[in-house]
Amino acid sequence: MGTAARITLAAGVLGLGLSIANQLTAPELSPALERAAVLGSFLAVGLMLVSILWTRAMPVAPERVDLEGEQGLELAAELPEALRQELAWGSQMLLTATPAASLLLHWRGQTLLRRGVLAPVPAPFSPGPICRRAWSTQAAIGLVNLKLYPGRGEFRGLPDGIPALIVQPLGEEGVLLVAGWSPRCFSRSDEAWLEGWARKLRTALEPIGAAPSPPAAGEGS
């Protein structure tokens, strides 16, 4: 709750308390005093409702999680230059224009791209039940608060402690994982942008076989 909402709520509570105290301490309850007490109570309750609605209209943004790792870029070797340029451009746009903190692209059994915050000791990524569900439905799966999901160990290829994740399928042979900085950080426009880029990527990835070279660490970010 913001400062303005807290002040409004405090004023409402104080006003309601003073109205009740005024009635309790009055020597006699005249009709005028009762009408004034009712109006004062309505005003106090109205202030409290305004504070609640204000909080809902302007919710406090979740705190950004301090992920362990350094910014970097890992691209699989021997990818076509046009595809390398597309991956570099698209991933950079996601990291700068959305709340994305880290990305991982997995295609036909190989991890072709890691970018953003990289885990200090990268672990091999292996698609699990959540990725398979995304493939079966051909729809993105948004995990708004990853710590609540018991299957979060499936995403070991990303930094530990990521709070939110979008699992975007690329047909039935690939998946793009986009981790966010905080819980519930991705908007509908972010998801729509990601879906559009995923469709473009799938077309560009079709010629890529199942056995490119492993990611070459240490390439510039």
When pLDDT is cut at 50, 70 and 90, the band that residue 142 belongs to is very high
Q: By residue range, what is the domain housing residue 129?
A: 70-219
Same domain, 39 and 97: no
Same domain, 51 and 82: no
**Contact status, residue 94 vs residue 105, Cβ threshold 8 Å:** no
The whole-angstrom separation of Cα 118 and Cα 116 is: 6
**Contact status, residue 117 vs residue 70, Cβ threshold 8 Å:** yes
Residue 184's nearest CA partner among 66, 68, 60 is 60
The CB density around residue 133, as the number of other CB atoms within 10 Å, is 14
Same domain, 153 and 80: yes
The whole-angstrom separation of Cα 11 and Cα 168 is: 47
Strands lying side by side in the sheet with 100-107: 141-143, 164-170, 174-180, 100-107, 110-118, 70-76, 215-219
Q: Is the pLDDT of residue 85 over 90?
A: yes
In a domain? residue 136:
yes
> Which 3 state secondary structure label does DSSP give 101?
strand
> Which 3 state secondary structure label does DSSP give 181?
coil
Report the domain count for the chain.
2
Summarize pLDDT for 180-221 with one digit per residue, the tens: 999 888 999 999 999 999 999 999 998 876 444 444 444 444
Q: What CATH number has the domain bearing residue 112? A: 3.30.450.40
